[in-house]
Structure 1
Amino acid sequence: MSELSVSVLSGISGIEAGIWDGCGAGENPFTTHRFLLALEDSGSVGTGTGWHPSHLVARLDGAVSGVAPCYLKTHSQGEYIFDHAWAQAYSRAGGEYYPKLQCAVPFTPVTGPRLISDNTAVQGALLQAMAQVAKQSHLSGVHVTFCTEAEAELGREVGYLVRASEQFHWQNRGYGSFEDFLADLSSRKRKAIRKERERAQSFGGTIRSLRGDDILPAHWDAFWRFYQDTGGRKWGQPYLTRAFFERLHETMRDDCVLIMAERDGRPVAGALNLLGPDAIYGRYWGCIEDHPFLHFELCYHRAIDWAIENGISRVEAGAQGEHKLARGYLPSQTHSLHWLADQGFHAAIDDYLLRERNAVSQEMALLTELGPFRRGERSR
């Protein structure tokens, strides 16, 4: 009989990159060893951040057969699947919600593998190990966020609660150009986007899409200023450190598409995307000058341009934002898993999630119907 064991790593450096990525983590830029290492080495996660690495490694007959990026969390910031109300309710009932175990990629609302293995038995063992860690460490529960649909179904089978949420994604339907995409839209929406792009591009400068060695350290200097401005306004304090972007340049610039707007030879706005095998992921945006519609141009329209030119199947533009709907980004369901140690609380959350899933399903159907595509094109 095969012997299966699961251990906990206090840092991603405790396992070789080739072994971690070889389990399947290398198929998504955010679960790669190099991305998680950049977060840890830069101090973006770790001591003082509330994100304490506790990665799981599964071994089958002594050989690594699965991994899971996990963190001991002392707050609910930077997750994008909001459980603040759960924490408050748990506290009012006399419990301590934190710390909790979070299986996720920090600060990254992107669907990807979380139970990283090609063996479903190993995936199930990782889920069971998470619950066991929570029990042994007296944690309130386990949360597996932005997992795949298949992982969500597996989690349901082993007793986890499934939560549904939505994002807005753009799908490439074999378009040869941006104009081909516009041809799928209603006349009114098509005209609105053309006018919006014309207005954005008249800001008095140039826009460039950079990748790999075309991205220079000076570009990261400029983008850091953009990121600080946006992070300060949205979160009060940016999650990522300056050192993270240095590591990104050193180890992942081939995974990056940096779209920069320059005026009078000076960068004034930028949008950072990461590349996967079949998607471009919009992550961060910022500016030091305000120009009408420049945000939509850099974050949404230019990402579509890049996807079409490079044969990428979809654009995932991050969390939330119904304003994306008018620009061709349709609702797409995302999934997470939750296990609560207290059985009564687990049952209460189960009831809540059932009603929430129904509401999300209804909203997605309505928003899809209200989308910008000509009738007959929405589900093509």
Structure 2
Amino acid sequence: MEKILIADSLKDVRELEWDSISGSNPFLQYYFLSALEETGCAARNTGWVLQYILLYRDDKLVAAAPMYLKTHSRGEFVFDFAWADAFEKHGLQYYPKAVIAVPFTPVTGQRLLGKSTNDKLTVAKAAIQYTSKVGISSIHVLFPNYTDLTSLKEAGFSIREGIQFHWRNNKYQDFNEFLNSMKHDKRKKIRQSRNFISKSNLTFKWLLGTEITNSYLDFFYYCYSKTYYEHRSNPYLSIEFFKTVIQRSPESFLLIVAQRENELIASALNVIGDGVLYGRYWGCSEFISGLHFETCYLQAIEYCIQNKMGFFEGGAQGEHKIARGLLPTKTYSAHWISDSRFSDAIDNFLGYETDAVQKYFKELEESVIPPFLALTKSRVKRP
């Protein structure tokens, strides 16, 4: 017997059942998503109303989608503000909308959870049926992996392309071998930057799991919050959230700290999972030229080389990351619009946008990928 249920709390789902379909991506596991809800970071009062789509067969959870009803477009990293404005100008209501995503996390992964393509398709169609029934304007699936696109297209979603910059480990033996794979000008700039950091009497520590004590975490959170405040924004995540996830899954976190003697200067919190190091959150107590790139990217890359990790994802946007050895990588989102007049217009827009993104992507590839990497990168498989 098959049935679809809507959960307004992850507490309605057994942890072992959820993790049996969520895969190895750390951001989709129960400990991470439940912490977002429990600490109030992604909850009704912040405009994230949990409405998870659950597919049960013979009382066993076989597929799901982490869906939220939202009253704004913050914390998504796929921008639809122009679409919302167009709705408003025509006297239509865009919000609330539905988002299938990991809140505040522009990381590619499953969004239709489960092992069967047919089950994923069932969940995608169920999301459309539910949102249509309650009068929601649209559904936006953010950063799905490539395999989910088949089910989303078949269910009637339009696909949007984007670009991030990721680092791929070409089985480098050490950091110098990685540097030698780069063009001379980029290699020279990195060495100059690292020399400047060294002359600033800065040293770095890699702290794993239980080594991330409360004092280190408090400093990290000060830096993380300061980064948001400097951009006239409020941090999405609370100190309680970080303490909760690190306590529940300490092996999933790497904190990189920069210090001058015993004084902490900067920190970057990374998430470890499925053979990938995910660079997520950063901040510093004082500005030092090159410190951001060293703490967030170069130290992370060096960690990956030493620990034989295949990939490093440095977060959303940022063409500047090319100079640190990160390469262009396509990302995707999928969109279903209830009003056919707007869905047709958005399809037309996406057609033009996709052509522009593909042209830009090709130009980036041709300009930054050394010939030997162009030949080998297809052999480096994501887990």
Give the TM-score normalised by the residue count of structure 2.
0.96
Structure 2 counterparts to residues 234-249 of structure 1, below 5 A: 234=231, 236-249=233-246
Residue in structure 2 matched with residue 105 of structure 1 by the alignment: 102
1:10 matched to 2:34? The reply is: no
Q: Distance in 2 between matches of 1:264 and 1:235?
A: 31
Residue in structure 2 matched with residue 193 of structure 1 by the alignment: 190
Contact persistence 2:53–2:65 (CA under 8 A): yes
1:285 matched to 2:282? The reply is: yes
Correspondent of 1:35 among 32, 35, 51:
32
Q: How far does residue 376 in structure 1 lie from its aligned partner after superposition? A: 3.9
1:252 matched to 2:252? The reply is: no
1:60 matched to 2:57? The reply is: yes
149-158 or 316-325: bigger deviation: 149-158
Stretches of structure 2 that go unaligned for 5 or more consecutive residues are: 377-383
Correspondent of 1:50 among 47, 50, 75:
47
Correspondent of 1:130 among 123, 127, 131:
127
- Code of the aligned partner of 2:101: A
**Going by fraction, where is helix more abundant, 1 or 2?**
2
Contact persistence 1:201–1:294 (CA under 8 A): no
Q: Distance in 2 between matches of 1:161 and 1:377?
A: 32
211-220 or 103-112: bigger deviation: 211-220
Q: Distance in 2 between matches of 1:201 and 1:73?
A: 46
Contact persistence 1:91–1:97 (CA under 8 A): yes
Residue in structure 2 matched with residue 121 of structure 1 by the alignment: 118
Contact persistence 2:268–2:279 (CA under 8 A): yes
| Paired residue secondary structure (1:320) | coil
Correspondent of 2:20 among 10, 19, 22:
22
Q: Distance in 1 between matches of 2:370 and 2:351?
A: 33
Q: How far does residue 242 in structure 1 lie from its aligned partner after superposition? A: 1.8
Contact persistence 2:44–2:50 (CA under 8 A): no
- Code of the aligned partner of 1:140: S
| Paired residue secondary structure (2:237) | coil
Give per-residue Cα distances to partners, 1:299-319, cap 9 Å, x unaligned.
110111111111111111000
Residue in structure 2 matched with residue 363 of structure 1 by the alignment: 360
Correspondent of 1:146 among 143, 148, 173:
143
Q: Distance in 2 between matches of 1:51 and 1:266?
A: 38
Q: Distance in 2 between matches of 1:284 and 1:269?
A: 11
Stretches of structure 1 that go unaligned for 5 or more consecutive residues are: none
Number of residue equivalences: 376
- Code of the aligned partner of 1:307: C
| Paired residue secondary structure (2:68) | strand
Contact persistence 2:265–2:286 (CA under 8 A): yes
Correspondent of 2:341 among 324, 341, 344:
344
Q: Distance in 2 between matches of 1:137 and 1:218?
A: 46
| Paired residue secondary structure (1:27) | coil
Give per-residue Cα distances to partners, 1:245-273, cap 9 Å, x unaligned.
12122112210010001124122110111
Taking only aligned residues, the RMSD between alpha carbons, in angstroms, comes to 1.2
Contact persistence 2:101–2:143 (CA under 8 A): yes
Residue in structure 2 matched with residue 211 of structure 1 by the alignment: 208
1:94 matched to 2:88? The reply is: no
Residue in structure 1 matched with residue 379 of structure 2 by the alignment: none
Structure 2 counterparts to residues 72-91 of structure 1, below 5 A: 72-91=69-88
Contact persistence 1:141–1:339 (CA under 8 A): yes
Correspondent of 1:377 among 354, 369, 373:
373
| Paired residue secondary structure (1:66) | strand
- Code of the aligned partner of 2:91: G
Q: Distance in 2 between matches of 1:20 and 1:365?
A: 39
Give per-residue Cα distances to partners, 1:13-40, cap 9 Å, x unaligned.
21111110001x1410000000011111
Q: Distance in 1 between matches of 2:346 and 2:154?
A: 17
Q: Distance in 2 between matches of 1:379 and 1:299?
A: 28
| Paired residue secondary structure (2:292) | helix
Query: CA distance change for structure 1 residues 200 and 258 in 2, over 3 Å: closer, same or farther?
Result: same
- Code of the aligned partner of 2:127: M
Correspondent of 2:270 among 268, 273, 290:
273
| Paired residue secondary structure (2:18) | helix
Query: CA distance change for structure 1 residues 322 and 209 in 2, over 3 Å: closer, same or farther?
Result: same
Q: Distance in 1 between matches of 2:18 and 2:133?
A: 25
Query: CA distance change for structure 1 residues 235 and 98 in 2, over 3 Å: closer, same or farther?
Result: farther
Which structure 1 residue ranges, 4+ long, deviate > 4 Å from structure 2? none
Residue in structure 2 matched with residue 298 of structure 1 by the alignment: 295
Structure 2 counterparts to residues 159-178 of structure 1, below 5 A: 159-178=156-175
| Paired residue secondary structure (1:147) | coil
